[in-house]
Structure 1
Amino acid sequence: MVYILLIIGFALLIVGANFFVDGSSNIARGLRVSPLLIGLTIVAFGTSSPEATVSILAALEQNAGVAIGNVVGSNIFNITLVVGLTALINPLKVENVTIRKEIPFTLLAGVVLYVLISDNLLQGASQNLVTRADGIILLLIFAIFLYYIFEVARQSRESMTGERVSSESESETVKWGKSLLLALGGLAAIIFGGDLVVNSATTIALSFGMSETLVGLSIVAVGTSLPELITSVTAAFKRESEIAIGNIVGSNIFNILFVLGAASVISPLAVTGKIFIDILLMVFLTVLLLVFSRTNFRVGKGEGIVLILSYIVYMVYIIIRN
């Protein structure tokens, strides 16, 4: 029965995220927001809502390993497998502003997280924790990111004043009632599905002798990252590179700063020694993505293969490590 509940939970996460993204994207287009900003905000936050739900619920249930492992594992999955598969379908064009600002911001978030959890190394504490104070710091940095996004959105809207007529006609085609219903219904499915995934995956993992951290890094991380994968692959087929890369970068920023920030404010998260290696790998992969993005301002098929192979090697490593 627990396996059936896990499958139902994943299905609700995927379907709910799709509804939420569709409804929210329609609303965003009606409000005249650029594709990159849609990817960085509405789509990214929507596809990251499973991670938020799972990690926050895990924090409430004192499953710190699942809460942290889910975020770190999801980010690694996004940078490697999601970017890799998307680039294989259609090379990802990366805007100059994304290379200069958004990806470095993701890198900053990863480094800040590593510093905040290094209590034993930096303060001589007996235990490494993501404390409530650490959570507040992460949320404050997230607020700075939101302010930056709002400023970019404002400038984007001002630059589109010359296209007011076409924008207004597009706005009129948006079915606001249907879009709101899709967004709210999708969010409800995500919350319920996230609860099923946390409970079912933890039960299964413990029955097999797996650690909570490994569960978060693998089963739960992959499951909650499926919306990012589906959305980015769909965007690649439609040649919407801005939405695809914006979704990935925005999701990773949201996961570290908001998800872990909110989860640790609810309940301080104990950090295991193994997760330090995973966070360092996440930071390294973010640097690698930045390097790949700077080559002709795109992530090509060859680079996509390197990223996919990196994820396969990582999965083998964490399974052996457990």
Structure 2
Amino acid sequence: MADAGIISYNVASFICALFVLEFGADKFVDHTAVVADRTGIPEAVIGLLTAGAEWEELAVAISCMLQNRPSLAIGNIVGSGISNILGAFSLGLIFRNQEELITFDASAKTYTLILFLLTLLFTGLVQWDSLDQTRTIGVILIVVFVVYVASVAYLIVKGRLTAPESDSDSESEGESIDSEDDEEEVTSISRAQVNSTTPLLEAQQELSIVRQHKHSTSYHVASLVFGFLAIVLSSFVLSSAASTIADQTGLSDVLFGVVFLSIATTLPEKFVAVVSGSRNRTGILVANAVGSNIFLLSLCMGVLWVGTAGTVDNDTINIAELGVLVGSTLFMALTVWFGARWSRVAGMVMLIGYLAFLVLEFTTIRHG
């Protein structure tokens, strides 16, 4: 019988861990960008690894794996993939600026095509009967991720694709400008935009110039490590609380991961989608969804399969959930390639489909 006290405690732990997780992810991304800038790493590569990169999801997957709950991890990965498209991308289309005609450039179409092909590969590997080869499958997916990063970075450098906006995981452009840790960006803005004619503005401009050299590279490296440790700690608490709640309520790990954990861990993506859609920033909107899913289905799933060889079987994910993942990815690709004119209607269809999927997950797909 469920213990109300245990459930309440773990729900509170779950919510608190979410805040720490997002804090750690923001710190990790922001300071990684600063360190990369100071060490000469191309900004395009940093943009690729921060726009839609689900480092927190990877930490959650590893934490679940270490606690011998791979079903919770794969449920979260598949559920997050569905939520990123039907729950986040759809909101961006619904809340887009009606006064401007939405368009998707060549890079957006390329990213969606890559994701669709990867989703088909992932689905085929999941349905492969040779479970003793799951470690090999995991290695294949990790290699796919490495090739993806290397090839897209090369194309970005060559100017054939548009680099993803590096602020998509920071929740908004304004937040990255106002961030205390983004000294260089603040300095450039103050120099370009503040033509001071008053002592107050002059003082603010001088202060921003001084702040440019306030923190050393070692400070940013330490902050990067601190953010990473926050991700690891919160991920352990998150997965542990999710496992306890699932046990106490009688829900399966996959059901809890697909529905509750995936919704919670993709809240930042939904916020970014609404903001980018309202500003008609289609590059951010697509990179947010597509980049996240490529990261989930290649690196996160690859690491999970390598670490839990032989434990991912038919009891962890079923054909209906995989069908929703493939169908939603195909629908998004068709919208980006051919349906820009009807994007708002497409967004509504996606959102209604997501709500229907959640209902069916409880009543039919995972019923009993």
TM-score (ref. length: structure 2)? 0.73
Match of 1:165 in 2: none
- The reply to whether residue 285 of structure 1 matches residue 328 of structure 2 is yes
Identify the residue that residue 108 of structure 2 maps to in structure 1: 98
Following the alignment from structure 2 to structure 1, what is the Cα–Cα distance between the partners of residues 162 and 106? 18
**Structural mapping, 1:99-248, within 5 Å:** 99=109, 101-120=110-129, 128=131, 131-156=134-159, 173=188, 177=217, 183-248=224-289
Q: Which of these residues, 20, 23, 30, is aligned with residue 15 of structure 1?
A: 23
Q: Which moved more, 1:111-120 or 1:1-10?
A: 111-120
Shift of 1:237: 4.4
Greater percentage in helix: 1
CA deviation profile, 1:122-170 (whole Å, cap 9, x unmatched): xxx5xx577111100111111210121221232139999xxxxxxxx97
Helix, strand or coil for the counterpart of 1:142? helix
Structure 2 gap ranges (5+): 1-8, 164-183, 189-211
Q: Secondary structure at the match of 1:119?
A: coil
Gaps of 5+ in 1: 161-168
Instruction: Return the index of the structure with the highest Cα Rg.
Output: 2
Query: Is the 1:110–1:279 contact (alpha carbons within 8 Å) kept by the matching residues of 2?
Result: no
Q: In the alignment, which residue of structure 1 is the partner of 2:83?
A: 77
- The separation in 1 between residues aligned to 2:161 and 2:11, in whole angstroms, is 51
Match of 1:163 in 2: none
2:361 matched residue in structure 1 = 318
Distance change in 2, residues 1:130/1:54 (3 Å)? farther
Partner of 2:176: none
Residue 50 of structure 1 pairs with residue 93 of structure 2: no
Q: Distance in 2 between matches of 1:158 and 1:137?
A: 25
In structure 2, distance between residues paired with 1:217 and 1:114: 16
Q: Confirm or deny that 1:306 pairs with 2:316.
A: no
Give the superposition deviation at 1:258. Answer: 0.2
8 A contact 1:65–1:272 mirrored in 2: no
Identity %: 23
Query: What is the number of residues matched between the two proteins?
Result: 303
Partner Cα separation in structure 2 for residue 79 and residue 130 of structure 1: 30
- 1:218, 1:137 → 2: CA distance? 28
Superposed CA RMSD: 3.1
Please name the residue that 2:191 is paired with: none
Give the conservation status (yes or no) of the 8 Å contact 1:25–1:43. no
Contact 1:17/1:227 (CA < 8 Å) preserved in 2? no
Provide the C-alpha distance between the structure 1 equivalents of 2:327 and 2:105, rounded to a whole number of angstroms.
Answer: 21
Q: State which of 59, 66, 75 in structure 1 corresponds to 2:72.
A: 66
Matches of 2:162 and 2:255 in 1, distance apart?
A: 47
Q: Is the 8 A contact 1:39 1:250 kept in 2?
A: no
Q: Is the 8 A contact 1:6 1:197 kept in 2?
A: yes
The answer to whether the Cα contact below 8 Å between 2:155 and 2:161 also exists between their aligned partners in 1 is no
TM-score, reference length from structure 1: 0.83
Q: Distance in 1 between matches of 2:225 and 2:343?
A: 36
- Separation in 2, partners of 1:311, 1:130: 33
